[in-house]
Structure formats: structure tokens, C-alpha cells
Structure 1
Amino acid sequence: MDPSSLIWIFFIFMFFYPQVLFRYKLLQRYKFIKNFETSRKARAIVMIHRQEQLALFGIPFYRFINIEDSEEILRAIRMTPGDMPIDLILHTPGGLVLASEQIATALKEHKAKTTVIIPHYAMSGGSLIALSADEIIMDKNAVMGPVDPQVGQYPAASIISAINTKYVDELDDETLILGDISRKAIDQVKEFVYDILKDKLGEEKAKNLSETLSSGKWTHDYPLTIKKLKELGVEVTTDVPKEVYELFDLYRQPVNQRPSVQYVPVPYKGGFKDEKSKGKPKR
């Protein structure tokens, strides 16, 4: 075989191998979902946004909540009988407000119990979705986040704050337009959060919580821990099914050969015995 043929084989391999590997992982994920549904007796929907390697030479791309996600989740909910519970496993940095609100509305309107399971984090639009569910289950170290809207690359609340420090005649038209959009965006998100919470928390608590979460009180990446959520009046439990953690092994795709985090990937039971003894850690 001549060298040019080897080069072509190499390029073909580099092109198809990531795709074959990705398809294999998809099959494993579908198998997990089916087993999870059987154990929980509920429709399982998974929305996990992590870095994926699929393109040529393993170039990674990043995911967030978009219209395609809302289309797929709404389709899954439509295919679910009204008397069947829904479990949504959620791991996301957030995304489009429109897509998040569509998913949240569909979950709220589902007749049977809806549960959002957060093993690590659900920020921004992910928090919006979680608030619409009948039950939120979080890992004890997981977090949610504020739902204040972002306009362009800046928080809407910060744009308004900056405008309020100046006279109108000092501002150009574009800045004034951004300010108008920001005010409308905050009011719209506040109204939506109130609507999805008023039946669950009551009108007064829903009004206060919608104001707190959407008005820009904190930075957009401020971590709302379980303790903080409970202080705000959001009911959260911590009994995350152990299978959910196993699911994340099917999404682990390091982008290089030098991972920044390493450990012996097995669960330990008990502690280490004294060096003088011959005991070994139990696994």
C-alpha cells in the first residue's frame, strides 16, 4: 500500500470515528432512558448541555437551550399521556428565554406530576423551567440561578442602572432603545415567573419571588443553593436517583489528553486503615 493511500485512510478514519463513537453513545443513552423510565414509572426526558466532540478532528461545540430543544421537549410531552408523570433531567447554563418559557409552560400544563432533577446546575432559563415543575430534586451541592434577562451581552438591569445615572440628552438613540427593551424584558420575565408560581406558592409569595429572581438583584451567575432557595420559599428535595449520576458518564467527553481533574473512578466505602495494618480501603 502506497503512502498516499495510508493518508487517505487516516483522514477517512478521523472523519468517521467521532461520528461512530457519538452514535454508539446515543444508543447507550436511549437504553439508560428506557431503564430509568421503567424504574421511575414515568416519562423520562433528558436535556444535558455539555461540550460535545463530533466535528472533524474532534473540534468541540457548546450547547444551550434553543428552539430545537423546546420543539423536541414539547413533542415528548405531547406524546405522553395526561396521567403519566414526567421526569426532566436538567443540566444547562441556560439559553433563549422564548425556548425556556415554552418548555416551562408545557411542563406546568401537564396534568400528571412533573419533576425536574438537577444533579449539578440549572441556570437562567434552566431555573425558569425548574420553577414550573411540581417537584424539584437537586443534588445537595447543585445550584440554580436568577432568571433576570440579558440584552445583548449585558444584563438588562445593568443597562437600566447605567441609563439612570445620566441625563437623557447625554445618551444616544441606541442606548435609549436598549433601555426600553431592557425594561420590557424584565417586566415580561417577571410576569411569566409570577404566572407559573402563583398556583403553587400563592399570589403574594409568587409576586415577591418573581421580583427577586428577575430584577437583577444578583449577578446572572449567582448560585442559588438549596439553602438559599428554601429561604426564598422554593421547595426542594435532595433524593436524586443514583442512576442519574451514572447517566453523566455517557456525556463525559474530554477535549484533550490531559484532563484537569483526575481521581480513582470507583466509590469508596469506609475509611483508610492505619499504614501499619495490612487492611485496604473497601470498594
Structure 2
Amino acid sequence: MIRLDGKQTSVALKNEIAEEVAKRKEQGLKQPHLAAILVGNNGASETYVANKVKACKEVGFKSSLIRYETSVSEEELLSRIDKINQDQDIDGLIVQLPLPDHISEEKVTERINPNKDVDGFHPQNMGRLALGSPCYVSATPHGIMELISRYNIETSGKKCVVIGRSNIVGRPMSILMSQKGIDATVTLCHSRTVGLKEICLEADIIIAALGKAEFLKADMVKEGATIIDVGITRVPSDKTKSGWKLLGDVDFENVAPKCSFITPVPGGVGPMTIASLLYNTLMSAKNEIYK
């Protein structure tokens, strides 16, 4: 059994990005610039955005953090997005989710210029993904594909089961795994799927992204399967100083011995997300997607 080390792989990806940024600076080319908008003071969002700002500094990016109180109007937020869209110095824009109830996430997502949508959530990027055209792939699916590639996991002709149909992970993963060059045969499952256990038992690759702690059990996995655990759930624990611990969607302790490859939680898919966001921002600075 081989653990897919997201920490180590994300460091390698960030080092590659940093090297390219350094070369751009030597050539007098533009320094990539990522802007983030944070509304309110949600603890998880604060931590995530702080990590993004830190990562930008590590690879030589410029970063801007724009903060608003929870009371900010939808109109004011959309107006700020319009200004960032027109700012030639800013290559990537992310609006940290979730947003307050009075602000439409759909309106905000669609207002971002697709060329600066480094989160890959805009309908234009999602549509281009479905068509197999150049696009910004949302960070978590992109990170998973990097892990699969860098660990040389065989995908061609393999049966892949994706559990979860969110627009952020499940649906993009089902498209990516079925694209030419990857060539897996994909089954997308969800909460209404009948016979999920039997479907999973036939899978060579399982991508669990439904947000239920330790949902995937050992009796749902065949010997030699590859397991990608996207889930992350905080549960109480009397064995940690914080009083809680993080669990994935996979019963790691019992599933891991049956696997060829498996991602741990934490330390698997998670670290790849921010590295992939940086990758998308660099692609924007280079005009690689929308030329």
C-alpha cells in the first residue's frame, strides 16, 4: 500500500511554480497577482485565505486580500468584482465561500471574468471542461489529477467510481477521469444510488467526495483498488489537545490494507488544493488558457 502524499507533492508543485516565477522576473515579465475577497469572519475561511496569502508569498506571487463585513450589500460586492475584472495587474480572483445568505453565490460566481476565475467555478470554465477545451479546472480536482499523474497510477480502461456529485468536486472529477488521455470508465454515484456497495466493489479507482465521515468501508473496496479521499469532517476527540480531529470519507484504518494507493486525511488531497490554485493563477498570468 502506497500513501499518496499530498504534502510532499504540493511542495514539489509549488517549487516548480516558484522557479518559473523567478525566471519570469529575470526576463522582466509580469509577476503573477492573486486577489481574494473575504466576507465576514468565518474561522475556516479565515484560515484558508491566510494559507493562500502565505502560499503566494512562498512562490513569489503578489497577493491582495479584500475584506468586507457580513453586512456588505450584494451590489457593493459585485461592483468590487467589476473593478478587479478591469484591473490589468490582477491575474486571478477568488471570492471565498460561503457567503452571507443575502448574497447570491451564483451571481458572484458568474460576475467574475472567466479569464480570472482561477477557482474554476464560472459556468464558462465548467462548460469548457465538459467539452475538453482549455479551461481553469477547479483546484481540488486539479490537485487530484496531479497526484494520479505524479504517482503514475494507471487509469486507461480502469473502472472509476466517483461518490458525490457537487459542482466543485464530484462532477468535474467524473469529466476529468473520462477524458481522452485518462480514459477511465466512470460511474458517478450519489445519495440516491441503488446498489452502491456492489458498484464500488467493481471499481479500480474510487474517489470519495460526499462529506460523510468514514462512509467508505472495507467491505465496499476490492483488493488492489486506488482510493482518493476528498472528504474532511471535524469530529470530537478526547485524544487531541484541540478536542477534535479530522476524518475523511474513507475508513482509512480498515480500507488502507486492501489498497494499492490511498490518500490520507489530513495530508492527502487537501494540500494539493492551494498549490493548484497557484498553478491556475500562473496560467492566467501567462495567458495560457484564454490566449
Please tell me whether Structure 1 or Structure 2 has the larger radius of gyration of its CA atoms.
1
- How would you bin the TM-score normalised by the shorter chain? under 0.3
More contact order relative to length (CA 8 Å, sep ≥ 6):
2
Greater share of residues in helix:
1
Greater share of residues in strand:
2
- TM (norm. structure 2) is 0.27
